[in-house]
Amino acid sequence: MEATMTFWVAFNAAVIGLLLLDLGVFARKDANGQPVPVPVRTALFKSAAYIALAGLFFVWLRMSYGATEEERATKSLEFLTGYVIEWSLSVDNIFVFVLLFAKFGVPAAYQHRVLFWGILGALVMRGVMILVGTALLREFDWLMVLFGLFLVWSGWKMLRAADEEPSSEDGPILAWLRRHLPVTQGFHGNAFTVREGAKLMVTPLLLVLVLIELTDLFFALDSIPAIFAVSTDPFIVYTANVFAILGLRAMYFALAGVIHRFKYLKHGLSIVLMIVGVKMLANWYAGGKAIPVEYALIVTGGIIVGSIALSLWKTRGQPAVKENA
């Protein structure tokens, strides 16, 4: 079954509505109209709400998306498996967010706006990549081999680097931005650009936003091929990505203080990528679904839950990291 234009329009309208609510209605400000940091309790509530929305969407797919009972069951399981994979891989983004915000000393009150626009840009980029990727796979099915080999290589590379500490030095992209853009010495509230005299300047907050967008682009090179191993239905792939990304901002504020305790999560994610890559190769070789979707869901969920549980147990007693004021 292919999603109708009505499905696409209704879903994207709902996503835009959620983003506008988050930016306008739910964005907290102080008496002077300035943004305030997102409390952990609020972030946990929002994270749970986004997960619940994904669950409700799964139920809707199970009841409505497909001409037959078997098709509805398959499509809904594909969504759920894809969502688990994308959600798990999106948690890895939080490590980078924490590093970037600490490196630039971004106050907690300004992080919400950076993540809002960063995630909005990520949704657009991923939507384009999914549509292009789906069209290419339908025209050239041998690309599944390249995607599968890439995922196995990427997972192996991630596993080898899982225990390495991220570098705090300026990378080539940041160095290039600093050379070619007029950057202010400090922050100007939560503004991305300001005028100093007759000259338009960018603030360090814009540099953080650009780096977050590029980070998601790099992560998407892994996550989107991974979900193609589960489904090539663009509506399923897109909606799974959107639900995972929508909850990422709230999840950051909920987990930023304890993300350092997820010691073995990268190991789990790397294994998932390699397994998904092998599944993609097997699908291509068999000319269809070589491994049932429900098995992929059980294995993926088990690895992720196991790696998080092992991490929390091994790092029990470690204090939370304090956020920037």
What would the pLDDT profile of 179-203 be if each residue is shown by its tens digit?
Answer: 888 888 888 888 899 988 788 999 9
* pLDDT tier for residue 163 given thresholds of 50, 70 and 90: confident
pLDDT-wise least confident of 55-69, 161-175, 228-242, 274-288 = 161-175
Instruction: Determine what percent of the chain is predicted with pLDDT higher than 70.
Output: 89
Instruction: Determine what percent of the chain is predicted with pLDDT higher than 90.
Output: 16
Per-position DSSP letters for 168-180, written without gaps between them: -S--HHHHHHHHH
* pLDDT tier for residue 88 given thresholds of 50, 70 and 90: confident
How far apart are alpha carbons 252 and 236 in whole angstroms? 25
Tens-place pLDDT, residues 264-311: 888 888 898 898 888 888 878 777 677 777 788 888 889 988 998 998
- The one-letter code for the residue type at 322 is K
Q: SS3 of 231, please?
A: coil
pLDDT the model gives residue 240: 93
E strand segments, the chain: 193-196, 199-202
Predicted model pTM: 0.83
The mean pLDDT value for 108-131 works out to: 86
Does residue 23 surpass a pLDDT of 80?
no
Q: Which tokens in the block code for residue 243?
A: 């639900």
Measured at the CA of 248, the angle between CA 242 and CA 254, to 5 degrees, comes to 150
* pLDDT tier for residue 17 given thresholds of 50, 70 and 90: confident
Q: Is 105 left (phi over 0), alpha (psi -120 to 50) or beta?
A: left
pLDDT the model gives residue 251: 84
Higher pLDDT, 320 or 282: 282
HEC profile of 269-319: HHHHHHHHHHHHHHHHHHCCCCCCHHHHHHHHHHHHHHHHHHHHHHCCCCC
* 129 DSSP assignment: H
* pLDDT tier for residue 91 given thresholds of 50, 70 and 90: confident
- The one-letter code for the residue type at 59 is V
**Phi, psi for residue 262 in degrees, rounded to 5:** -80, 60
2 contact partners, CB below 8 Å, separation of at least 6? 233, 235
Q: Which tokens in the block code for residue 244?
A: 């995972």
